[in-house]
Amino acid sequence: MRADGPTRARVALETRSSHRNRLDTLHGGFLAAFADHAYFGALWIMGHEAQINGVTIDLSMQYLGAGKVGPDLIAEVEILRETGRLFFLRMLMTQNGEAVAASTATIRKAPKPQ
């Protein structure tokens, strides 16, 4: 993981054979799970550590290409807007520079400690 400024981050994941489907490409459910994980990792690395306890209230995926087992997945995450209670984010997931999936998410912030 690395931050690329206050509103952008990159999260990488090594792909394995256990992530594939019957067509020998990356399973869509795996990609969605990685997207959800990457949103929280990105928030953490961008300095929003308390949001590791936030909750995903909306996540949508657009599958753009077949992911392959082997090359790392790179999730480029951007905060579009932050309100008092919510983060609105988007992501482009790539392998070897080729788009595999895009995503948007809304995350409810973790409650403030009392």
Q: Which residue has the higher pLDDT, 1 or 53?
A: 53
**What pLDDT sits at residue 39?**
98
State yes or no: pLDDT of 100 exceeds 80.
Answer: yes
**What pLDDT sits at residue 21?**
66
End-to-end Cα distance, the chain: 30
Q: Any idea where the domains of the chain sit in the sequence?
A: 2-108
**What pLDDT sits at residue 24?**
67
**Residue in 107, 114, 89 with CA at minimum distance from that of residue 11:** 89
**What pLDDT sits at residue 16?**
66
Do 95 and 73 touch, CB atoms closer than 8 A? yes
What radius of gyration, in Å, describes the C-alpha atoms of the chain?
Answer: 14
Q: What is the pTM of this model?
A: 0.91
Do 54 and 62 touch, CB atoms closer than 8 A? no
Residues 1-13: tens digit of each pLDDT: 899 899 999 999 9
Q: How confident is the model at residue 31 (pLDDT cuts 50, 70, 90)?
A: very high
Domain 2-108 in CATH: superfamily? Answer: Hotdog Thioesterase (3.10.129.10)
| C-alpha span between 73 and 89 (Å, rounded) | 18
Q: Which residue has the higher pLDDT, 21 or 42?
A: 42
Place of tokens 């409810």: 108
For residues 28-53, give the mean pLDDT: 94
**What pLDDT sits at residue 59?**
98
